[in-house]
Amino acid sequence: MHIAKFITILVVLLTIVGAFTSPEHLLVLCVGLTFAAGVWLLWPTTDTPLLLMPFALQWLQVAVKPVETAITRQPLQDLSDYGEILAPGAWLGVAGVAALGLGMWLGRGGSRYDWTATLARDAREVWPQAMVVQIALFLIVVGHVLAIAAAFSGPARQILLGFAGMRHAGLFLMAYWCLLRGRSLGLLAIVSLLEVVSGLTGFFADFRESVLTLLIAAAAARPRLQLRSLLALGLAAIVALGVTVFWSSMKKDYRDFLNQGSQEVVVAQPLGARLNYLGKAADEFNANQVQTGLSLLMARESYIDILAATLAHVPEVVPFEGGSRLHDAVLNMIQPRIFFPDKPVTPNDSMVSAHYTGLPFNLAKNASISMGYLAELYVDFGKLGAVVGAFFIGLLGGRMYAVLRGYRGIPLIFTYAAMNMSMLVFIFFETDLVRFLGSALTVFAACLILQRLVAPRALLAMIARVPEAAS
């Protein structure tokens, strides 16, 4: 049996049980069935779960508190962080995520071609270990170099950050090949550890993309319901959850350490000091901190409180914007700062959120709290407009996926590495429209350049240098 079918059946069964145990019967039923439908549609047996990844992460940020009602049997309103009525925000969130998934499915389009089989063939028969490892490490190293260079590149920063995502393409390439072939697993573990630690040294959770890449590569490489598949996926999931809980438990104190108490979003500590801090924190990590980290993680991941506050504040206090938020986001997207140096600076996320929710996010320390793209679409167009907007964002992601996947000029294993790089942009429900659309366009353009201009020439050069590589 394919793992997607097993997950779908399991989710449906758990949803039925949860709907009975929760006081919010209908909400829990809709939340669970939305996820089950997403798994069924976005992870077909002939393809990888790359489109399922952003859908699942966004669904999670809506589902945390409804699922909690099924576990604790508390009413949804008892879980409100700010005292707002949560139900309208939860229902808008569910509708928005469902529309997003539907848009992704339609945007991807139908295909009878077995992409999974071709992808596996590339890894098993065509590309040898030495070449795959060499290319993967090159992409990872260059991606990190570009990410560092972006901090000093001024108006070219967004462009360099778009190409810096190639480190995730490299990690997917190595992880998929190693897990499918069952070889070089020690090297993969070392590279993965370095990637996660590197992400932890920053101010924000930059390790998330690396952890998700490993999880998706494991699911793509081992899609059948077998013991080895379950072990690979289980290990990847445990690592993902463990690192995220660890980060949640220590990030507040760690950020105070990074900025030396200045309350600014800056890293004022050298790398050695950061690594020492992380090592000590990991050594002292215990069961109490696990519980604290889980609680903080659940509070951080849930975004229906912000949606509920926005629904209560707009248009009751602040009027609808009539499309100005989306207009500004599109204008920002089509005007790269490198060509438009006088473009206005993007407003502070916390200040924008405070304006439209009525909550004191402008007082938040060591954080930038965005209201999320769905809340911004609501501010522009109301509830129906927000759901329709989420559908078109999903459609955009699905079309990007289809365009990249449809190119046959390079082996499919390298194309899917680029697709992973592009789909990672869509994982964040909390991203504001300006950064979301801008990042999506920039990273997609970078993927096209790498896939259609750089990769064909680079791979031909490598084959010419090592003729037996593709034999």
Supply the pLDDT for residue 470: 45
Supply the pLDDT for residue 363: 54
| DSSP notation for 308-321 | HHHHHHTTTTS---
Altogether, the residues listed in the chain come to a count of 471
Whole-prediction pTM: 0.91
Supply the pLDDT for residue 464: 61
Supply the pLDDT for residue 365: 52
- For the stretch 50-105, pLDDT in tens is 999 999 999 999 999 999 999 999 999 999 988 899 999 999 999 999 999 999 99
Supply the pLDDT for residue 248: 86
CA angle 119, 122, 126 (to 5 degrees): 175
In the predicted model, what is the mean pLDDT of residues 230-251? 82
Residue 471 pLDDT class (50, 70, 90 cuts): very low
Tally Cβ neighbours within 10 Å of residue 200: 22
Instruction: Decide if pLDDT at 177 tops 50.
Output: yes
Supply the pLDDT for residue 465: 63
Tally Cβ neighbours within 10 Å of residue 386: 26
Supply the pLDDT for residue 461: 75
Supply the pLDDT for residue 87: 96
Supply the pLDDT for residue 386: 97
Percentage with pLDDT > 90 across the chain: 53
Strand, coil or helix: 319: coil
What does pLDDT average to over the chain?
88
Q: Which run of H or E residues covers position 291? A: helix 287-301
User: Of 38-42, 227-231, 250-254, 395-399, which range is least confident?
Assistant: 227-231
Q: Phi and psi of 187, rounded to 5°?
A: -65, -40
Cβ–Cβ under 8 Å, residues 377 and 385: yes
Which ranges of 22-128 does DSSP label H, i.e. alpha helix? 25-42, 52-72, 86-108, 115-121
